[in-house]
Every structure is written in structure tokens, then in C-alpha cells.
Structure 1
Amino acid sequence: MPSLTFPIIDPIAFSIGPFAIRWYALAYVTGLLGGWFYAKRLAARTELWAPQRQPKPVDVDDLIVWVALGVVLGGRVGYVLFYNLSTYLAQPLEIFAVWRGGMSFHGGLLGAALAIVLFARTRKLNPLTMLDLASTVAPIGLFFGRIANFINGELWGRTAIDFPYAVVFPHAGPLPRHPSQLYEAFGEGLLLFILMAIAVRLFGFRRPGLLGGIFILGYAIARIVCEFFREPDEQLGFLFGASVQALSGGITMGMLLSIPMALLGMGVIIVASRGYTQPRTETA
């Protein structure tokens, strides 16, 4: 079957003197700015929050800085621990070479969640409702991040000889492969954004934790599905041996990390929908 030729795109979007601005960095910036703009609009709608305390515009402005730090630090630490620990133990200074790539979404998620909780406590806001707000806008960053992965020609998919829209990536050998980065942009980005937009319209932020649980479950499902088309990381390969690979199509680290996410998401949805996360009211 014929395959598509990978569009050779320079990973450097533009240069300003000696400084090179890469598409990947622009994806992070665009995702953060898009999330900030959308979060400010949601935070301004009083009907979505009552009776929960509504964040002020300045709270959203400051929160984006905390989230950015949490994503970068958590994403890097997660990649080091989950995906390439032996290499970084042998060369510990490489941990700080973030410009060479290596970020984990699951680590970034934990880092962002911790940053949001700490931020909420400093402003006396409900940490769960702030996590809900972040969950509603997070798919924007996921979408642009996966598009940047495609532009960089990284994190490509598994071989797809009979798939008419397979792509021959420049650093992945001569065989055509699934453009799994675009699948993830669609599933983890666009579809999840639509799901969260519907959920916030239906439930608002009145049930602390509910939107966060929907996001965690939705992302875990999308990631597990997309992992069936994505080539596992070279240093890890498929997990649990050839027998499991033959039966399941291959278990990857991304799948393994997403399973507890799905269970956590379901648990949070149940607890929040039953009202157990509502703040207790003082009685005289």
C-alpha cells in the first residue's frame, strides 16, 4: 500500500539572533495561554460556581505560573523515574538537559496537581474546584503538545503496512507507521476538550472533584486506546514479555500508568457525584 511522505518541518520555528524558538516550546506556550484565556472566562461565570467560592481574575493569572512550573518539573521527574532511570543514574547531569527532550505526561499531571493544591491553600480556595478548573482547560495543552510531537517526528506509531494513511517518519526506518501523535491530539486533545466543555456546562463547579474525575478517566481511556497504535519507548519496549504481547497487542508503560488513573477517575466521580466532597457547613 502507498504511504504518505512525512512533511519535513524544521523543529525550529524561528530564530531571534542566537536564540532559537522551537515548535515544541511554542506548543507549551500556546497551550498555557489558551488554557489561561479559557480559564478566565470560566472563572468569571458566577452561575457555574455557586455555592462554591469563585476565584478572582488575579487568582487565575497567578495559577498559570504555578501550573507551568508543576508541569515542567513533574514532567521531567516523571520521565526520569518511569522511562529512563538507568540512563540518568549513570549520567545524572543529563536530568537537567531538558532541551534534549524527555517529558512524561503522567509526571506532569502529578506535578501540576500538586502545584494547584498548594496554590489553592495559599488563596483559601477549594483545591478540588481549582483542580476541576484546570482539568477543563488541560486538553488545550494536550492537543498542541501532540501536534508538536508530530512536527518533531517523534513518538511515532507502530508499523502499518496496509494502512493507506501511514507515514514514513525520517528517523523511524523505511516502514510506514501510524501517525499516532495525531490520534492522540484528536483523542486526548479535541475529543476530551469537547467532553469537558459539555461536563462543565452540565455540572459547573458545584460538585468539587467531579470534573477532575471525568478528565482523569477520559484521558486514561484515550491514552490506552492510542497506545495500541503508538510504538513503545525504545529503552522499555513492551512490558511483561512476548506471551503477553501476543495476547494483548503489547502492554506499554503508557497503558500501565493509565490503568490506575482510570480507577482513580471512576472513584472520584462516584465520590463527588454523591456529595461527599462538598465542604462541610458550620452549624450553630
Structure 2
Amino acid sequence: MVRASPHGARPLPFPEIDPVAFAIGPLVVRWYALAYLAGVLLGALYGRMLLKRRALWADNSPPFAPDDIWDFAFWAIIGIIVGGRVAYVLFYNLPQYLANPMEIFALWDGGMAFHGGMIGLMLAVILFTRKRGGNLLSSLDLLAAIGTIGIFLGRIANFINAELFGAPTDLPWGVVFPTDPLGVPRHPSQLYEAALEGLILFLVIRYATHVAHALRRPGLVAGIFGIGYGLSRFAVEFVRLPDAQLGYLYGGWLTMGQVLSLPMILAGLCLIAYAMRSRRA
């Protein structure tokens, strides 16, 4: 049963979207999986466009050839899956997986951590670029420029799955999620993250790359991404419910998502400082 908020605000109904996009016999394809694939595909298309514009890059030299982006797309998928799963196991539910180690491989049951997926992507693009003799910092810049597309689609998929929702709210855009046992209006924190970490950060980085020529200073775009994502995630975590098995940390005011975002912010600051001191422009 849906409960009205204490101030009488009428909650928004949850849109009737089946988490399953389609099924063919025993094969079930969910929107969440399609969001991952679409993020990689659209990111590769946008990345190829950036790689073709050599004037955007330091010394007119992108980290690798435009058509190599399709080879990297395969590396990216592996990096996202392995990194995201390993980080979730280590930081979010380690006791459960130590007791049941075979569940580590049950990806169909969910359980991925963005920060781990990003580390996996970073390792993938660094290894891929080293094999082609490109600039490693420029490859991280490329990843930062295209990564926001996948973040946006992934958070929309979280909303469709009615997962990772926020705390109760009296705001007029509070949503009653069908998976909420309390049936109260809650912050649609997935949409907050889609807007901040996906759309807005994409526009900021696009301005930096196309207007401010940030790609000419290797590491600058990656630094902007680190700070932008870290601050956005840290802010949204104040209204997003923490993982049930962890709860709030350090006296009840920090979440694991906030703890893991702090190194991203610090790394972003270091990258920007290094890029601005670089002689390349």
C-alpha cells in the first residue's frame, strides 16, 4: 500500500517498465545488460569521433588510431565486469562471498561497484594504449570523455530496476518504488546521479575538450572527471540509502560510496595540477 507523506504531498507513481527488455525462450535480456552494451557502443562511437580530430590532442597525436576503438571496446567490457565485480565483493559484501565463494561468479544475481568498474576500465585502456605506444594520460582523458555516457545509461537502468533508491522525502517528485516494503515516497537518487554524473558531467567535459582544448594537456580531462564524479556521488549519497549489509560508516554519517569517492577527488586534483604544470599545450 502506498503511504502519503507527512505533509500530504502526492507521490509520483513508478512508471510501469518491465526490467526485462525481452525474452526468447529461456534467454532473458534485461534493460540493465542493454544499458552496459549501449554505453560501450555509444562511447566507442563518440570516442572514434574524438580520435579522428587530431587537432584536439597534444602534439596532434591521439592515444591510438580511431578504428582501434572497436578493439578497445572488447577490453572495456572485460574491465568493467571484472573490476566492478571484484570491487563489490571486496568492499560491499565480503563476508557473504567468503562463506559462499561460488556466488562470486553469479553475475546474473547483481552486485557491481562503479568505482571498481572504473578502475577496471582504467587498467584496460592503459594496457591497450601501451601496446600501441600512445600517451597513457591521453588515453585516460579519452576514457573520461566517453565514460559519462555509460554512467547515464546505467543509472537509468538502476531506476528501471527500482534499485539503489533514496531516503524517504516529502518533495513533490518523490517516487514510490515497487520494491520498497514501506511503500513511501523516496528520492529518485538514480535519476539524480544520471543527471549529475552522466548528463551534466558530459556537457562539462565536452566544453573542456571542444572549447577549452583540455585534451592538449594530458591528464586534465581525466582530472575533471575524477573531481566531477567524486563530488556528484558524494553529494547524492546523502539522500541515497546505503547498502543494507553495510549501513552507514564512521559514526553513522558516511557511506561506502562516499569513502570510495574521496580518492577519486584527490586523484582528480593531482591530475589537474600535473596537467596545468605540463609544458604541453
Alignment partner of 1:44 is 2:52: yes
Secondary structure of the residue aligned to 1:108 is helix
Alignment partner of 1:94 out of 73, 87, 103: 103
CA distance, structure 2, for counterparts of residue 221 and residue 50 of structure 1: 28
Q: Which residue of 2 aligns with 1:281?
A: none
Following superposition, the deviation at residue 157 of structure 1 comes to 0.4
1:43-122 map, 5 Å: 43-54=51-62, 55-122=64-131
Q: Which residue of 1 aligns with 2:221?
A: 211
Secondary structure of the residue aligned to 2:59 is coil
Alignment partner of 1:230 is 2:240: yes
CA distance, structure 1, for counterparts of residue 10 and residue 99 of structure 2: 43
Following superposition, the deviation at residue 21 of structure 1 comes to 1.1
Q: Which residue of 2 aligns with 1:177?
A: 186
Contact 1:52 1:205 (C-alpha < 8 Å) held by counterparts: no
Q: Which residue of 2 aligns with 1:282?
A: none
Alignment partner of 1:18 is 2:26: yes
Alignment partner of 1:189 out of 181, 198, 204: 198
Amino acid of the structure 2 residue aligned with 1:15: A
Q: Which residue of 1 aligns with 2:274?
A: 271
CA distance, structure 2, for counterparts of residue 219 and residue 14 of structure 1: 32
Could you give the per-residue CA deviations for residues 13-57 of structure 1, whole angstroms, max 9, x where no partner exists?
011232111000110011111101100100000211240523212
Secondary structure of the residue aligned to 1:21 is strand
CA distance, structure 2, for counterparts of residue 130 and residue 216 of structure 1: 14
CA distance, structure 1, for counterparts of residue 268 and residue 54 of structure 2: 26
Following superposition, the deviation at residue 229 of structure 1 comes to 1.3
Could you give the per-residue CA deviations for residues 45-80 of structure 1, whole angstroms, max 9, x where no partner exists?
021124052321222111111111111100000100
Amino acid of the structure 2 residue aligned with 1:260: P
Alignment partner of 2:17 out of 9, 23, 35: 9
Secondary structure of the residue aligned to 2:196 is helix
Amino acid of the structure 1 residue aligned with 2:266: L
Which range moved further: 50-59 or 186-195?
50-59
Secondary structure of the residue aligned to 2:28 is strand
TM-score (norm 1): 0.92
Q: What is the identity percentage for the equivalent residue pairs of Structure 1 and Structure 2?
A: 52
> Which blocks of at least 5 consecutive residues in structure 2 are unaligned?
1-8
Alignment partner of 1:134 is 2:143: yes
CA distance, structure 2, for counterparts of residue 98 and residue 50 of structure 1: 40
Secondary structure of the residue aligned to 2:215 is coil
Contact 1:158 1:230 (C-alpha < 8 Å) held by counterparts: yes
Q: Which residue of 2 aligns with 1:159?
A: 168
> Which blocks of at least 5 consecutive residues in structure 1 are unaligned?
279-284
Q: Which residue of 1 aligns with 2:258?
A: 255
Contact 1:227 1:254 (C-alpha < 8 Å) held by counterparts: yes
CA distance, structure 2, for counterparts of residue 178 and residue 129 of structure 1: 37
- Aligned CA-pair RMSD: 1.4
TM-score (norm 2): 0.93
Matched residue count:
270
* Stretches (4+) displaced over 6 A: none
